[in-house]
Structure 1
Amino acid sequence: MATSTDITGVKDLDVNDIKRPLDESFYSLDKTEEEFITQQTGIQDPQELKKHIINVQAEAYQVFPYPCIFRFGFAKLKISRFPAYKELLRLGKERQGALFLDMACCVGNDVRKAVDDGFPVNQALASDLEPGFWDVGHKLFKSTPETFPVPFIPGDAFNSVFLAPAPVSTSLPDGPVPPLSSLTSLTPLIGRLSVIHASSFFHLFNEELQLQLAKRVGSLLSPEPGSFIFGSHAGLPEGGLRSLNLRGSARVVEMFCHSPESWKELWEKEVFGEGKVKVEAFLTEVQGQDLPDMTIDKRYIMVWSATRL
C-alpha cells in the first residue's frame, strides 16, 4: 500500500486527516462474504464472527487507518466479482507454473479467495508496504504461515531495491523461477508473473506517480499472450482531479482519477505500446462516502484489466 504521505496523491495529507474513531455500524457483510470467513475461521455463530472481525479491525487500524479498514473492506470479497477473475482461475489450472501476485494485498483476503477457489497455493504470492497487515490477516482467518503458505514479500513498489526499473518484457527471462519462499524483493519476478491483481492502489498517487507505478508493475508481467493485470480503483467519467472536502475543515484535497479512456491510453501507449495489450475498463457509480471524513457528490469505481496480446 501507499505511504501515509502519499494517500490520495497529496504529499502533505496527514494520517490524522483521515483517521476517526471506529464505528461498528459500518459492519456489513453479505451472505457470501460471511460464509467465506466462516469457512476459513470455523466460527459458526454470526455474532461471534462479527466480534472477531471487529477485534481484528482495531488491530488493522493501528497498522494504518485506511478507509477500507474503517469500512470493513478488508473482510469483503472483491477479486471474485471482477470479470477477469475466471481467467485467473483458468490460467492457474491450465498454464504450467502460472504465477499470481496480489499487490497491495492488505490482509490478504483476495489472494485467500483465489486459493480457496482453486488457484495453486504454491504459485501465489502477496505483497504490501505494511507487513503488519499480513500478520493481521493470519489473525483474521485464523491461519499460520504453515497452514496458509503463500509467500508475503513486504516492500515499496517505488523503491528500486525492491523492484528494479525495467522495460516490459518481450521474451521470457532465462533460467528457472527462484523459489518463491526465498524472495525478499519483486525484482526476480520481472517478466515472470501470469497475473497481477492491484486494487485500491493506483488512486493513492498523483498522475505522474500512477504512470511510474504502471510501468513498474507492468514490467513484472510475463510476455506470454493472455497474461494480465486487473483490479479496481477510483475513477471519473473524464480524467482529472477530484476535489474532496474534509469534513469539519476548510481543507480541500485533490485526488487524480483516470477515466476509462485515459486509463486505456496509459497502458496501451505509455506502458506496453499499441497493439501489445488489450485493456478493458468501465465505471460503476457507488453509493456512500468516499472517505470517512470527506464529502463528495458522486463516487465512481473503475474496474479494469490489461491483457498481453
Structure 2
Amino acid sequence: MEGPAIHDDSTTLLGDITFQTASTPTVDTSFYSLSSEEATFFKAQTGIDDDEDLKKHILEVQAKAYKVAPYPCIHTFVFLRNRTFLRLNLSNLSVYKQILELGRERPDALLLDIGCCFGVDARKAAADGFPAKNIIASDVLNEFLQLSHELFKMTPASYPGCFLPGDVFDPAFLSIVAPSDNVSPAPAIDLSLLKSLNPLHGRISAINAISFFHLFNEEKQLHVARALAGLLSAQPGSIICGYQVGTLEKGMVAASISGFKHRLFAHSPKTWSSLWDGEVFEKGSVKVETELVEIAIPEVQFFMMKWSVVRL
C-alpha cells in the first residue's frame, strides 16, 4: 500500500482515496469513547486501570499519529477499533473463532494482519490465544507500527509478535504467485528474520484485511487479492477475511464522514464473490461468504461488507 500524500489544499490521499475537507480538522476529543469490552481490553493490555489516565494516554498517542498522517480514522479514534468507523473488528466477525482454532490446533499456524495501522486486531488475537509469535502485523507506515508499541506500553523486545513495514504493491515486499496446492504442513519459520512477506508464500493460515481493499481502485483490488491469495496455505480451512465499503452494484461510492468527503471504488457481494471464486482461486476451490450492512449516513445510502474466503 502506498504511503499518504498530504497537500496544502486540505486533501489527503490514502491509497486511491482522496479525502477533502475545507481545512484539516483539529483533533476533537469528543469522538473518544470506549465500550466496556474495549476499555477492559486496553486496560489489560496497557496496565492502566484508571479511565481518565487511559484516556490521557490514548489522546497522547492519537496526537502523535495525527501528525504522521491526518487520516479520518485517526481523527475519529477508529484506530482503536481496528481501522473501521464501526465497533466491528476481527473479533466480531463470524470466522474469528475459526481463526483462533487454527492458532490452537494447526501446527505453526500463521496469522497476517495486513494494513494493520496500530495492529489492534493482531494484539487482540494474541490476547485471545493465537500464539503471538506466529502473528505478523504489517502496514506501509512504520511510524504506526512504532506507535503501536507506545499505545500498548510495550517494546519490540517485550512483544513476541512480528511488526513488518512494507508496500504490498512492491514485488520485493509482496510478489504475486499462483495459489499454493501443497497441503503439507509448512515447517516453522523465524518471523523475526523477515524482511518481506515473500518467504511466506503458501504458508499463512489466516489473513485479516479489515478496511483495506476499499482503499484502492478496481484494478489494484484485484492485484492485492491475487497477492494475498499467494500467501494463503492450501490446507482446507485457511481463511482470508475482511470488512470494507460495499455496494449493491459495483462502482464508485461517495460519502462524507466526520467532515471528510471522499469517493472510492466498491464491489457488490456478487462481484466480490466471483472475483475470489473463479478469478483469484480456481472455481469451486473456495467458499466465499458476504454480508452487506447498511450504515446510517445522512443523504446517502451507504453499506459496509463483511466477507470471508475459506479454502476447501
By the TM > 0.5 criterion, same fold? yes
Select 2:95's aligned residue among 84, 88, 102.
84
Residue 59 (structure 1) shift:
1.0
Residue 300 (structure 1) shift:
1.4
1:113 aligns with 2:124: yes
In the alignment, residue 37 of structure 2 is paired with which amino acid? T
Q: State percent identity of aligned pairs.
A: 44
Q: Could you tell me whether the CA contact under 8 Å between 2:139 and 2:166 is conserved in 1? A: yes
Residue 51 (structure 1) shift:
1.2
Residue 253 (structure 1) shift:
4.7
In the alignment, residue 305 of structure 1 is paired with which amino acid? S
Distance 1:43 1:161, change over 3 A: same
Select 2:210's aligned residue among 199, 202, 205.
199
- The unaligned stretches of length 5 or more in structure 2 are 6-12, 83-88
Aligned to 2:134: 123
Aligned to 1:30: 35
Whole-angstrom distance in 2 between the partners of 1:59 and 1:238? 39
Q: Which TM-score applies when normalising by structure 2?
A: 0.89
1:298 aligns with 2:301: yes
Aligned to 2:164: 153
Select 1:144's aligned residue among 137, 152, 155.
155
Match of 2:180, SS state, is coil
Distance 1:119 1:175, change over 3 A: closer
Distance 1:17 1:144, change over 3 A: farther
Aligned to 1:219: 230
Q: Which TM-score applies when normalising by structure 1?
A: 0.90
Whole-angstrom distance in 2 between the partners of 1:18 and 1:2? 23
Number of residues of Structure 1 aligned to a counterpart in Structure 2? 299
Q: Could you tell me whether the CA contact under 8 Å between 1:103 and 1:126 is conserved in 2? A: yes
Match of 1:25, SS state, is helix
Report which stretch shifted further, 66-75 or 27-36: 66-75
Residue 66 (structure 1) shift:
2.1
Aligned to 1:291: none
Whole-angstrom distance in 1 between the partners of 2:286 and 2:259? 45
Deviations 1:70-89 (A, max 9, x none): 11111126111111100010
Whole-angstrom distance in 2 between the partners of 1:207 and 1:296? 25
Aligned to 1:20: 25
In the alignment, residue 77 of structure 2 is paired with which amino acid? F
Whole-angstrom distance in 2 between the partners of 1:58 and 1:42? 21
Select 2:58's aligned residue among 28, 53, 58.
53
Aligned to 2:178: 167
Cα RMSD (Å): 2.4
